[in-house]
Amino acid sequence: MRTTDGRLPGPEIWIRGPVSAPEPPPGPYTSPPGPRRFSWLGTHGGAGASTLAAVYGGHDCGRDWPGADAPPSVLLVGRTHASGLESVLRTLEVFRRGQAPAGLDLDAVVLVADAPGRLPRQLAQRVRLIESVIDVYRVPWVPDWRLGDLSGTPPRETEPLVRLTSTAARRPH
């Protein structure tokens, strides 16, 4: 039995136009990922992890490793003074040797200015050393933060950090 155009009946094997992939069945793997969350880990006392978590969002770990309920993506925080940079380097070494708790993902280092102005050459060299092994985000001196006022917008110089933490302009202007 032939069709009206003279062909034999049967399944059509040629498809014209783009072919879309079949929709996957619903499940947890099909939900779109939300904004990435981070755990802020201070490498020394006074590093600024609490302030950064308040301004940019994320989990404040203080100086402790992120717990089971905290995001496993870690941002190390340190000040740009000599002992702060040494603390960052020591913590990077812990990750390099595989001695950090299992399941943590070291994403970047965030260096918070310890004073206004440019860094002395010796400190700038240490920063370059850190930058040679991992992404580094710099946060300038913010006088209002020193006074405890976190209500303003993040400094313009931290726009890359704002993009990383997906908190674009979360503070009122």
Domain positions in the chain: 36-165
This prediction's pTM:
0.76
Which of 3.30.70.60, 2.130.10.10, 3.30.70.3040, 3.40.50.300 would CATH assign to domain 36-165? 3.40.50.300
C-alpha separations of 145 from 33, 35, 48, 52, 82 in Å: 32, 25, 10, 10, 21
> Is the CA virtual torsion 160, 166, 172, 173 positive or negative?
positive
The predicted-structure confidence for 136-150, as pLDDT tens digits, reads as follows 999 999 999 999 999
Cα maximum dimension of the chain: 90
pLDDT in tens, 67-85: 999 999 999 999 999 999 9
Name the packing angle between helices 121-131 and 82-96 (round to 10°).
20
Task: Retrieve residue 19's tokens.
Answer: 């072919």
* Strand pairing class (73-79; 105-112): parallel
Asked whether the predicted pLDDT for residue 101 surpasses 90, the reply is yes
112-137 confidence digits (pLDDT tens): 999 999 999 999 999 999 999 999 99
89-96 contacts, C-beta under 8 A, 24 or more apart = 89/126, 89/129, 89/130, 90/43, 91/41, 91/43, 92/130, 92/133, 92/134
